[in-house]
Amino acid sequence: MLTKVAEGVLVHQSELLQNNTVVVQGRAGALLIDPGITSGEMTCLANDLRELGQPVAAGFATHPDWDHVLWHAELGEAPRYGTARCADAMRAARSDADWKAHAAAGLPPEIADQVPLDLFGLITDLPRGTTHIPWDGPRVRIIEHPAHSPGHAALLVEDSRVLAAGDMLSDVFIPMLDDFDSTDDPIGDYLTGLHLLEDVADDVAVVVPGHGSVGGEDQVRARIELDRAYLYALRDGRAPDDPRIGPAAKPGWEWVSDIHTGQAQSLADRRRGDAAPG
């Protein structure tokens, strides 16, 4: 089911992980951002778009995590864009002869047999420095940043003032850091990403995170500050006062505390390694 969040912008939310697919209506079709995540959900999405008279004109993957690079044959053969780093990451993943088995192994077991992988990760890279989506529709600004994963980007639908934030600014997920294989400073990278989103906050009336609830204008800066406070606590080795983890966590999302525990342990291990004598 599609829910209108602003003029010309709709959201389809998945059941398991509350993934938000963003639909931006254009003149001759729709821009589809991060479609997901099961075959049934994507078929439903395709049917809803047909009823609106909005075939898919273009797609965009905000970053190369499995649940943001999915596609279904029912959505058609429109170009599926991403940043150059996002597309590079997916080409590297698919170059492995066993890429499909590796992708399947990372799926949640509850839906592993329901996620279509044949069109997984087929992303067309936009030239570096591209500032807007090349399509026949409203101007959609690309805000690339280093937070969370290589080639991550948020999209700002300028006229409707909607920010599709990718895996940031969620009310259910804490900031999830990139790993040390990709960066030496995952917290610093994430803070840089928040700063770039903060730069456009005055232009945003609706924020759509990759997972969780859509937020209104009053939530944009509040979520940035909540994410920043979590990162500062993690950086300083303090227990975060964050409603997304611990006893205050949303029912059914208590496992997010395990993500925090793992991140805190990884950073502690890194500090010990850096402090060890050479």
| Interval 53-93: pLDDT, tens | 999 999 999 999 999 999 999 999 999 999 999 999 999 99
Taking the domain 2-275, which CATH number applies?
3.60.15.10
Q: Name the token pair of 193.
A: 């990403």
Listed residue (123, 97, 105, 134) closest to 34, CA to CA: 123
pLDDT in tens, 207-239: 999 999 999 999 999 999 999 999 999 999 999
Q: Identify the pLDDT of residue 130.
A: 95
pTM exceeds 0.85, yes or no: yes
Q: Identify the pLDDT of residue 9.
A: 98
Q: Identify the pLDDT of residue 271.
A: 80
Residue pair 14/38 in contact by the 8 Å Cβ criterion:
yes
* Rg of the chain in Å (alpha carbons): 18
Q: How far apart are CA 255 and CA 162, in angstroms?
A: 29
Listed residue (136, 123, 133, 130) closest to 157, CA to CA: 133
Listed residue (169, 219, 158) closest to 194, CA to CA: 169
Dihedral sign, CA of 242, 243, 245, 248? positive
User: What stretches in the chain show pLDDT beneath 50?
Assistant: none
> For the chain, which residues make up each domain, given as ranges?
2-275
Residue pair 210/167 in contact by the 8 Å Cβ criterion:
yes
Q: How far apart are CA 136 and CA 155, in angstroms?
A: 16
Residue pair 229/240 in contact by the 8 Å Cβ criterion:
yes
Q: Identify the pLDDT of residue 77.
A: 96
Element of type H or E holding 255: none
Q: Identify the pLDDT of residue 1.
A: 87
